[in-house]
């Protein structure tokens, strides 16, 4: 995979179906000093603008045997193109063994769900659980457990000049405090805070509860004995402690029925507070039905009244606790007034997202756009549900006749309303469509319908009988103008087709982006929490500054993401001309707005992590991908030009190390060793060049800085030439082929990799226990030891309920903003308290998502053994490096972490980097090993060779 491709794909997230700036991206002239399209030999051409389309002689093009596209005829270009085709698993050649055995996929963590998986989860699970969600209709994003009330009461108070949001373990927000001066206050529509409750707590007494009426609903009607209810029917409540789904369940029974038939249940959120009042304080409730819904299974509005006093003659009852539970029940009732009980969960989450974005970022929407978004909540229930369903599906076109959802009563009427309000676009006449839209419409037809149209037009498909081939044949006729009736023929078979309107999709995409602040999360994040799959940590959102100061900055950022999506799609489609055009666009955009870039002399390090939401930062990622593409095409001069551009523009960026290394390498490729040496020497003076990149430049300087270029040996040569202990072992190979991961027979005769073979060797020779984990176990240890610091109250780094780490975690701002908290914690680790901290953090936060912490891969016993065997000073030094520069040191650690005990309390640890017969240490791995040696660790390299070969 091209360098930077995976990172850019994560930034883009789920690809948008509609790009509002696509035409301008493709047609507007580009003011760039680099004309990639007209220069095939890697030379730089100075131009004022590039039109984007360059005619290439047909004699210079060849046809790819895999995808059929035209590519330039140079040998290297053809080979690179074939590699990309085969990496997408397109018509794989079974004889090309080396390419087949490469793994072009990328692994994902448990919390990283691809857009396709998210869409399937959202559509399948929503359908599956729709009825279940309707039973718990008034549930806010996270219910509050009575056992957690005390911890909430101990929340820290903040100055009134700040805007604070308390995020609980499941992500709901509480305790908003603001004096009105901070316009970033976000209302999470959660329950009233405990602080507010404490102020109102004593307004009532135990006696005031008796006779008090509250309005609520009967839910879970599908489990009822009586499907019909009458207006004014008398009811009463009965505890159901044996309910397997909820031990706090409360039944609603008909008082007018001789056999006491069950009408349903109280909402779960209300039942959790009323059930202890009924059981412990012997309260009883009666009431009546105040409204009858249209559908028998819908929630039924009721009013219930407490019939007796709390104490009811009982002694030893805690009045304070009883009033506390009653106040919480009243909060649930008040909260439910703004959340209709028949609102499905995904509809509720979508409305909540829109509300929060409009509350937190009103300055990023014009008056008309805000009015359009706000109008969504005034739509009918069916219309809201249908739009969210279509918005989250792949689409873009859908046949109205095939739209059937159990929670949508009248989809036809919903379509009419959405169309009239501008949320949907209908294809029901012969309106002229773009070629892309025509292709999408044809994909809605079945194979038999496509063949029927071909027969009607008396056309033959010369490319085969597969659906894609049939569509291609019809599309070629439409583009050629020989088939003007194609739209009518499609409409006759599909009838009405619908899609979300570009305006609605653009606005709601913006709202979703502002809500999550990344492309990896979407509405499925709500679902993952609702289903209990993911639990987010507790933290405070203290928002003092906006990410985007005005709409123009946001629009520029959105356009940059569009360019990123275009280049990503173009690489998939092998449209290399469009790839080059996107590179030129990014180059021109960066060169035109230097005032937006970060100044290395600025003391405001917080601007570094905010810069990730700038257009310039996105364009830099596009250029980085473009550099990798150009290097694969051996267009080194063009790559050098772009690398210099990045280094000139981004003077304060941790990526400068990689850029400098690539610049030095590419200069050597074009035969300029003196310039390469000068670049490497200058890079070593750059404070942003760190870790493996710094070591790579040092090694390059040592190699090139020889007489007569340089006469003096660099001072770092002694440190760089330190010997790393090596251990050589032999194994019986299972395969010895280049391009494949080495496999061996283990001591038990089973197949294994080099790491497992090394683990067996160390267990046999030294009694070592350990795990093959690379950086994983260290990131888990760091996350657990620094948990409270990661989630500490630092302004502007927590902005949404769905974060697993602060926004500044991979910047220098992380350590500097928390130095007063980090250093005392490191001192505790230094003094040998790491194991105690680890156990406490594990027990308190088990299962909660946090950056780097992998609850499934590492057991508490392994973590305790590792921490207890690593000396406190070593572990503290390692954690300090991660806190100071997480982005540089969070990867490349040795493969194995080994430990062994000497008695009950003492032990030792060892870190081992394992290399197979054809592997070499990377610069990052070498940097880690030397750093670990400096920290006092026992570190070494284990080289595995095949039997019969010398070490």
β-pairing, 539-542 vs 61-63, is unpaired
Q: By C-alpha distance, which of 286, 245, 226, 261 is closest to 136?
A: 245
The confidence score (pLDDT) of residue 676 equals 94
- Cβ pair 911, 893 in contact under 8 A: yes
How many Cβ atoms are within 10 Å of 551's Cβ, its own excluded?
15
The confidence score (pLDDT) of residue 722 equals 87
CA dihedral 110, 111, 113, 119 (to 10 degrees): 120
| Same-domain status, 221 and 325 | yes
User: Could you tell me if residue 580 is inside a domain?
Assistant: yes
How far CA 603 is from CA of 417, 598, 608, 651, 812, in Å, comes to 53, 11, 10, 13, 12
| Same-domain status, 789 and 857 | yes
The confidence score (pLDDT) of residue 257 equals 60
Domain coverage including residue 556: 5-21+535-720
The confidence score (pLDDT) of residue 759 equals 93
pLDDT of 769 higher than 60: yes
The confidence score (pLDDT) of residue 668 equals 94
Q: Of 702, 720, 738, at which residue does a domain stop?
A: 720
**What tokens does 442 get?**
């044809």
pLDDT of 736 higher than 60: yes
Distance CA 285, CA 5 (A): 62
Distance CA 129, CA 748 (A): 47
User: Could you tell me if residue 506 is inside a domain?
Assistant: yes
Mean per-residue pLDDT of the chain: 79
Residue 606: CATH number of its domain:
1.25.40
| Same-domain status, 716 and 777 | no
User: Could you tell me if residue 912 is inside a domain?
Assistant: yes
Distance CA 224, CA 245 (A): 15
Q: Of 446, 478, 513, at which residue does a domain stop?
A: 513
Distance CA 747, CA 750 (A): 7
298-319 pLDDT, tens digit per residue, is 788 999 998 876 555 454 456 7
Residue 274: CATH number of its domain:
3.30.70.2330
pLDDT of 512 higher than 80: yes
The confidence score (pLDDT) of residue 513 equals 95
pLDDT of 109 higher than 90: no
Give residue 320's pLDDT band: very low, low, confident or very high (50, 70, 90).
confident
User: Could you tell me if residue 566 is inside a domain?
Assistant: yes
How far CA 865 is from CA of 671, 823, 870, 910, in Å, comes to 53, 24, 9, 12
Cis peptide bond prior to 844, omega within 30° of 0 = no
pLDDT of 188 higher than 70: no
Half-sphere exposure of 926 (CA within 13 A, CB side): 17
pLDDT of 151 higher than 50: no
User: Could you tell me if residue 221 is inside a domain?
Assistant: yes
| Same-domain status, 597 and 542 | yes
Q: Phi, psi (5° rounding) for residue 164?
A: -120, 140
Question: Rounded to an integer, what is the distance from CA 25 to the centroid of its chain?
Answer: 27
| Same-domain status, 569 and 711 | yes
Lowest-pLDDT choice from 180-189, 219-228, 475-484: 180-189
Give residue 104's pLDDT band: very low, low, confident or very high (50, 70, 90).
very low
Q: Of 690, 720, 750, at which residue does a domain stop?
A: 720
Please tell me the total number of residues recorded for the chain in this structure: 951
| Same-domain status, 416 and 333 | no
| Same-domain status, 603 and 500 | no
| Same-domain status, 498 and 550 | no
Lowest-pLDDT choice from 258-262, 684-688, 716-720, 780-784: 258-262
Q: What is the mean pLDDT of residues 785-790?
A: 96
What is the three-class DSSP state of 109?
Answer: coil
pLDDT of 950 higher than 50: no
Q: What percent of the chain has pLDDT over 70?
A: 76
The confidence score (pLDDT) of residue 850 equals 95
More confident site: 336 or 915: 915
291 dihedral zone (left: phi>0; alpha: psi -120 to 50; beta): beta
- Cβ pair 160, 179 in contact under 8 A: yes
Q: By C-alpha distance, which of 339, 348, 168, 185 is closest to 269?
A: 339
The confidence score (pLDDT) of residue 638 equals 94
Angle of CA points 849, 547, 626, to nearest 5°? 85
**What tokens does 548 get?**
């985007």
Lowest-pLDDT choice from 228-242, 425-439, 655-669: 425-439
The confidence score (pLDDT) of residue 29 equals 78
pLDDT of 713 higher than 90: no
pLDDT of 57 higher than 70: no
- Cβ pair 415, 389 in contact under 8 A: no
pLDDT of 600 higher than 50: no
Highest mean pLDDT among 133-147, 206-220, 228-242, 331-345: 228-242
DSSP labels, 316-345: S--HHHHHHHHHHHHHHHHHHTTS-TT--H
Lowest-pLDDT choice from 86-90, 599-603, 858-862: 599-603
Domain count, the chain: 4
Distance CA 945, CA 951 (A): 7
| Same-domain status, 504 and 618 | no
Q: Which residues contact 104 (CB under 8 A, 6 or more apart)?
A: 1, 87, 88, 89
Distance CA 175, CA 165 (A): 6
Distance CA 837, CA 671 (A): 55
Q: By C-alpha distance, which of 524, 389, 560 is closest to 14?
A: 524
User: Could you tell me if residue 595 is inside a domain?
Assistant: yes
The confidence score (pLDDT) of residue 742 equals 77
**What tokens does 588 get?**
């021109």
More confident site: 444 or 58: 444
| Same-domain status, 761 and 712 | no
**What tokens does 441 get?**
């419409």
Distance CA 142, CA 898 (A): 41
User: Could you tell me if residue 569 is inside a domain?
Assistant: yes
Give residue 55's pLDDT band: very low, low, confident or very high (50, 70, 90).
very low
846-873 pLDDT, tens digit per residue, is 999 999 999 998 899 999 999 999 989 9
- Cβ pair 167, 147 in contact under 8 A: no
Helices (H), 799-902: 813-817, 819-830, 834-845, 860-869, 872-884, 886-889
- Cβ pair 169, 142 in contact under 8 A: yes
| Same-domain status, 749 and 650 | no
| Same-domain status, 801 and 664 | no
Give residue 82's pLDDT band: very low, low, confident or very high (50, 70, 90).
low
Distance CA 487, CA 429 (A): 8
Please give the biggest Cα pair distance in the chain.
Answer: 107
């Amino acid at each position: 995979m091209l360098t930077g491709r995976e990172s850019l794909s994560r930034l883009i997230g789920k690809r948008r179906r509609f790009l509002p700036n696509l035409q301008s991206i493709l047609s507007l002239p580009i003011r760039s000093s680099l004309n990639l399209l007209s220069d095939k030999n890697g030379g730089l051409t100075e131009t004022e603008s590039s039109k984007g389309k360059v005619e290439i002689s047909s004699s210079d093009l060849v046809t790819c045997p895999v995808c059929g596209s035209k590519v330039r005829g140079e040998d290297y270009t053809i080979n690179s193109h074939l590699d990309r085709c085969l990496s997408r698993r397109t018509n794989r050649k079974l004889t090309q063994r080396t390419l087949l055995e490469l793994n072009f996929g990328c692994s994902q963590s448990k919390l990283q769900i691809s857009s396709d998986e998210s869409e399937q989860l959202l559509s399948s699970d929503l359908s599956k659980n729709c009825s279940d969600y309707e039973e718990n209709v008034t549930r806010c994003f996270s219910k509050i457990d009575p056992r957690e009330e005390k911890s909430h009461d101990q929340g820290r108070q903040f100055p009134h000049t700040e805007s604070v949001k308390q995020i609980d373990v499941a992500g709901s927000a509480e305790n908003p405090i603001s004096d009105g001066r901070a316009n970033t206050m976000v209302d999470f529509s959660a329950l009233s805070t405990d602080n507010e409750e404490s102020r109102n707590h004593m307004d009532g007494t135990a006696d005031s509860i008796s006779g008090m009426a509250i309005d609520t609903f009967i839910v879970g009607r599908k489990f009822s004995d009586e499907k019909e209810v009458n207006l004014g029917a008398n009811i009463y409540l009965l505890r159901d402690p044996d309910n397997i789904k909820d031990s706090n369940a409360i039944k609603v029974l008909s008082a007018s029925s001789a056999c006491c038939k069950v009408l349903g249940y109280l909402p779960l959120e209300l039942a959790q507070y009323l059930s202890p009042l009924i059981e412990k304080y012997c309260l009883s409730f009666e009431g009546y039905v105040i409204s009858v819904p249209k559908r028998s299974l819908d929630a039924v509005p009721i009013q219930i009244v407490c019939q007796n006093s709390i104490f009811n003659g009982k002694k030893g009852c805690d009045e304070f606790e009883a009033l506390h539970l009653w106040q919480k029940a009243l909060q649930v009732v008040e909260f439910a007034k703004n959340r209709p009980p028949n609102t499905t969960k995904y509809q509720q989450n979508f409305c909540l997202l829109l509300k929060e974005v409009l509350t937190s970022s009103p300055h990023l929407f014009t008056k008309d756009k805000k009015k359009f978004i706000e109008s969504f909540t005034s739509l009918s229930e069916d219309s809201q549900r249908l739009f969210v369903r279509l918005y989250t599906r792949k689409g873009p076109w859908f046949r109205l006749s095939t739209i059937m959802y159990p929670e949508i009563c009248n989809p036809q009427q919903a379509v009419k309303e959405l169309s009239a309000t501008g949320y949907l676009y209908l294809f029901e006449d012969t309106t002229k469509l773009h070629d892309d839209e025509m292709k999408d419409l044809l994909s809605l037809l079945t194979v038999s319908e496509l063949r029927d149209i071909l027969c009607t037009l008396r056309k033959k498909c010369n490319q085969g009988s597969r659906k894609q081939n049939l569509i291609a044949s019809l599309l070629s006729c439409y583009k050629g103008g020989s088939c003007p009736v194609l739209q009518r023929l499609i409409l006759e078979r599909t009838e009405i087709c619908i899609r979300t309107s570009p305006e609605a999709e653009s606005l709601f995409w913006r709202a979703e982006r502002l809500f999550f602040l990344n492309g990896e999360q979407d509405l499925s994040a709500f679902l993952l929490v609702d289903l209990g799959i993911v639990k987010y940590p507790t933290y405070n959102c203290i928002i003092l500054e906006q990410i985007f100061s005005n709409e123009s900055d946001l629009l520029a950022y959105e356009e940059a993401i569009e360019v990123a999506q275009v280049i990503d799609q173009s690489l998939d489609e092998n449209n290399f001309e469009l790839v080059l055009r996107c590179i030129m666009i990014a180059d021109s955009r960066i060169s035109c707005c230097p005032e937006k870039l970060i100044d290395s002399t600025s003391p405001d390090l917080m601007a570094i992590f905010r810069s990730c939401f700038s257009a310039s930062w996105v364009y830099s990622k596009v250029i980085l991908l473009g550099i990798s593409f150009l290097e694969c095409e051996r267009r080194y001069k063009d790559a050098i030009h772009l690398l210099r551009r990045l280094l000139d523009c981004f003077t304060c960026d941790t990526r400068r190390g990689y850029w400098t290394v690539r610049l030095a390498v590419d200069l050597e490729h074009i035969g300029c060793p003196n310039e390469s040496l000068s670049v490497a020497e200058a890079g070593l003076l750059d404070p942003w060049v760190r870790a493996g990149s710094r070591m790579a430049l040092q090694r390059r300087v040592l190699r090139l800085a020889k007489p007569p270029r340089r006469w003096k040996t660099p001072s770092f040569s002694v440190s760089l030439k330190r010997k790393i202990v090596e251990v050589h072992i032999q194994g019986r190979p299972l395969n010895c082929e280049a391009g494949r991961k080495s496999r061996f027979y283990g001591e038990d005769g089973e197949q294994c990799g080099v790491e497992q073979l090394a683990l067996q060797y160390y267990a046999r020779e030294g009694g070592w226990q350990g795990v093959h984990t690379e950086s994983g176990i260290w990131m888990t240890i760091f996350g657990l030891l620094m948990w409270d610091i990661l989630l500490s109250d630092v302004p502007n780094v927590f902005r949404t309920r769905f974060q697993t780490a602060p926004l500044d975690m991979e910047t220098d701002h992380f350590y500097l903003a928390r130095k007063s908290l980090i250093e005392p914690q490191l001192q505790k680790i230094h003094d040998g308290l790491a194991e105690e901290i680890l156990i406490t953090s594990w027990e308190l936060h088990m299962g909660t998502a946090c950056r780097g912490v992998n609850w499934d891969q590492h057991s508490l016993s392994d973590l305790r053994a590792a921490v207890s065997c690593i000396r406190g000073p070593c572990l503290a030094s390692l954690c300090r490096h991660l806190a100071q520069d997480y982005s540089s040191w969070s990867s490349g650690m040795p493969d194995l972490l080994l430990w062994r005990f000497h008695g009950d309390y003492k032990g030792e640890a060892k870190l081992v980097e394992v290399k197979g017969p054809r592997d070499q240490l990377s610069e990052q791995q070498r940097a880690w090993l030397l750093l670990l040696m400096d920290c006092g660790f026992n570190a070494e390299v284990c080289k595995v060779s095949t039997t019969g070969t010398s070490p």
